[in-house]
Amino acid sequence: MISGRKKMRKDESGKGGTMAEIYDLAILGAGPAGICAAVYAARGRLDTLWLEKKFVQGGQIVNTYEVDNYPGMPGINGMELGEAMAAHAEKLGLAPVRETVVSLRDEGKVKVISTENNEYRAKTVILAMGAEHRTLGIPGEKELGGMGVSYCATCDGAFFQDCTVAVVGGGNVAAEDAILLARSCKKVYVIHRRDQLRAEKILQERLFACENVEIIWDTVPVSVEGKDQVESLRIRQVKTGEERSLPLDGVFIAVGITPNSELVRGVTELDEGGYIKAGEDGDTSTPGFFAAGDIRTKKLRQIVTAVSDGANAVASVQRYLMETEAQNSSGQS
């Protein structure tokens, strides 16, 4: 069980010579799904390679000021939670190698992972590269991230009880976020650039029924304003060009999520949104490749569901390895 770069072993063909090690498992990504997969792989004594391009482990949660919905750790800082998760894996002897994966290749029983500096081989791969929230790219958005700017109403809505907030977006997620926030917030504005929502009709009906929700049509955000926390949102009416500042306590940005799946395009099947098609067991359309966390098709993207995915994916890896080993043994007898 290692996370190092290379060691040599005798060629398994029996012809002698040496070759780069073929790992049991390669884990790509060190968010909650990847970390949990590493923990389960270490406990399962799988010969594992773990790759992560970023220096800090924890994925998106490291950008969260406070996490209040992870069992047993109410109010923990996102960076601290990521560090605690990573420390658990490291205690079991597994830490990620800091390398950027540039390509993946399926060679049947062996998967080839190429980085900027090395080439690795593994019998299985867990794809846990996560996803990224689309940003608005406006002034103040990044600076006030975690201080009133959020991309997850499910994660952070509880911090804004009896407050005034805005939801930016017009799709299903934006409508769902606004409905959720309306239950505890004093006032919810929905900022949408068009004159009608893209959300499903049933969601629109529920949204319009919320008495404390006001939709501001044909409007785009210009900047998030505030010093140490969000104080207002500068908005512009697209038809008239008129600008004004909307006093707020929080801004929830719901303009979509982009999965980090470009690496596997052509390797395994993706849905129309770019998510890897995989169920709870992590199985993809390509044998030996498994998906875990926000990168796969799923209804709820949370830390707890990502962690669950990591455990399930390793269980599927172990099952796959046993089945292929049995097939190889029967073929040689």
Out of 152, 163, 185, 294, which one is annotated catalytic? 152
Phi/psi region, residue 130 (left: phi>0; alpha: psi -120 to 50; beta: rest), is left
162 is catalytic: no
What is the number of H-type helices and E-type strands within the chain? Answer: 6, 19
Specify whether the CB–CB gap between 212 and 185 falls below 8 A: yes
Residues in the chain: 333
SS3 198: coil
155 is catalytic: yes
SS3 29: coil
Q: Cβ-count burial of 312 within 10 angstroms (0-12 exposed, 13-18 middle, 19+ buried)?
A: buried
- Structure tokens belonging to residue 97: 């190698």
d(CA 177, CA 250): 13
d(CA 204, CA 96): 44
Q: Which residues contact 16 (CB under 8 A, 6 or more apart)?
A: 10
* Residue 97 to residues 103, 127, 253, 313, Cα–Cα distance (Å): 16, 15, 33, 20
Out of 24, 47, 106, 156, which one is annotated catalytic? 156
d(CA 309, CA 281): 7
Out of 155, 177, 185, 309, which one is annotated catalytic? 155
d(CA 202, CA 309): 30
d(CA 117, CA 8): 17
Catalytically active residues are 152, 155-156
